[in-house]
Amino acid sequence: MDRSAPALLALLLVNAGCVVRRPQTYRLVEQAKSSVLIPPGVASPDVPRRVFTADIPAGRGKCAADRGTVEMRPRGKRVRLTVDREALIRQAPGWLSHWTAATESRDCIAAGQGLRLGIRIIESLPLDPSAAYRLLYASGARTGYVDLGPEIRLQVNSPVLREGTPADAPAVESSKISGLTVEVKTSANLLGFEIAWYAVRPKPNAIGYEIVPISAERHVGGTAEAEAGPAYNYFQFSPQAAFCRLFYKADQGTTRIVVAGAATRAELDGAAQSLDSDPDACQKFGAGMCVVLPQHVAANPDVVAMVNGREVALPVGATVRSAVQAGGEKDPQRVLAQLHVRRLYGGKLVAVEFDRASQDIFGLTLLGGEEISWQ
């Protein structure tokens, strides 16, 4: 037999299009009593490491490895990454956000690319979705704080007060609880309430993020009016505040909301320690670096997903189950056969394939930007 025949046959198969193509969708599979989300372009849930070039602009500084977890070096105008899966999932909550922020501060990558790099890393390997979320975000209800990044949409509820009334004037003069009855006496200056929304956006050509008002809705006298922005912007931070964190602090039987800013994530951690030890530390951080919201103002950090074609704000850490319920379906299992989920990969929405005989898809933690539908 001609020894060139196998090579010729292989060439013919390639030319005929008979090549093995790696899946171009996410696949949610069960492995060792947990779920693993396999990203597009990866064939197996057991891939131990990935080497790839990320579409992240390289900086001019020096890139450094981190104990074998992630190695990065410039490759032309982009960066080349080697990611070890086992080392990655052993890291502490929020480690990846801190690592990418430090990488950005060393000018290893271009300014404003830290979060994109972190997301690209967790997109590169098969991971338990909850572990991937934990690597990016240490914050949540259990920690008592939320780091404010581009995945967050802030909803701020505040009273509408009579003109000339100070912004921090009380909206409630007194309250009384008698059994199941609650009596509240509101201030004569209270006219209604306002719901305002803020986006957290990357700073243009700079490290970090800024909190930007995007819209508001004012309710006065039973009438709702759309506004371009809130009557008062509570988040007027100094340009030096590149990273912000929202804290829930106990204060004499109530909960106060504090938002602190810092130039680096390391400094933000230091600010958190100061607030833990000194309730009045916010006033000592310097102008435009810390805000204590008035007691009658509430701020709710949400992630946003599209549910049946409608934008829905969901609590941080929400799952597909939460989104389906927010979309009006009390029993998510009823729509399992018709359910479709798409998730961002490289900035584009990609389908998530899953076993429709299993409810694992409902536990998929949302990062923001997902598209969920069943109608």
CATH classification at residue 317: 3.10.20
Instruction: Label residue 184 exposed, middle or buried (CB < 10 Å: 0-12, 13-18, 19+).
Output: exposed
Both 141 and 209 in a single domain?
Answer: no
Angle at 134 between CA 129 and CA 135, to 5 degrees: 100
Query: Which residue, 270, 300, 330, sits at the end of a domain?
Result: 300
Question: 350 is in which domain, residue-wise?
Answer: 304-373
Query: Which residue, 84, 118, 146, sits at the end of a domain?
Result: 146
* 13: in domain: no
Within 10 angstroms of residue 26's Cβ, the number of other Cβ atoms is 24
Strands 340-345 and 348-354: antiparallel
Percent of the chain with pLDDT over 90: 49
Both 195 and 326 in a single domain?
Answer: no
* 17: in domain: no
* 9: in domain: no
Both 139 and 55 in a single domain?
Answer: yes
Q: Domain tally for the chain?
A: 3
E-assigned strands of 39-77? Answer: 49-54, 70-75
pLDDT for the residue numbered 13: 46
* 18: in domain: no
State how far the Cα of 242 lies from the Cα of 278, in Å rounded to an integer.
23
State how far the Cα of 174 lies from the Cα of 101, in Å rounded to an integer.
46
* 8: in domain: no
pLDDT for the residue numbered 164: 78
Tokens of 132: 């991937």
Both 160 and 258 in a single domain?
Answer: yes
Q: Are 175 and 197 in contact, with CB atoms under 8 Å apart?
A: no
pLDDT for the residue numbered 12: 45
Both 289 and 313 in a single domain?
Answer: no
* 11: in domain: no
Both 280 and 346 in a single domain?
Answer: no
Strands 78-84 and 70-75: antiparallel
Query: Which residue, 300, 321, 356, sits at the end of a domain?
Result: 300
State how far the Cα of 274 lies from the Cα of 283, in Å rounded to an integer.
11
Helices (H), 24-106: 85-89, 95-105
Both 296 and 316 in a single domain?
Answer: no
Both 139 and 246 in a single domain?
Answer: no
- pTM comes to 0.79
Both 118 and 168 in a single domain?
Answer: no
Both 95 and 214 in a single domain?
Answer: no
Closest to 151 measured CA to CA, from 301, 292, 333, 336: 301
Both 245 and 229 in a single domain?
Answer: yes
pLDDT for the residue numbered 107: 87
* 323: in domain: yes
State how far the Cα of 360 lies from the Cα of 341, in Å rounded to an integer.
13
Strand, helix or coil for residue 366: coil
Both 34 and 124 in a single domain?
Answer: yes
pLDDT for the residue numbered 171: 75
* 16: in domain: no
Q: Which residues of the chain have pLDDT under 50?
A: 1, 8-14, 16-17
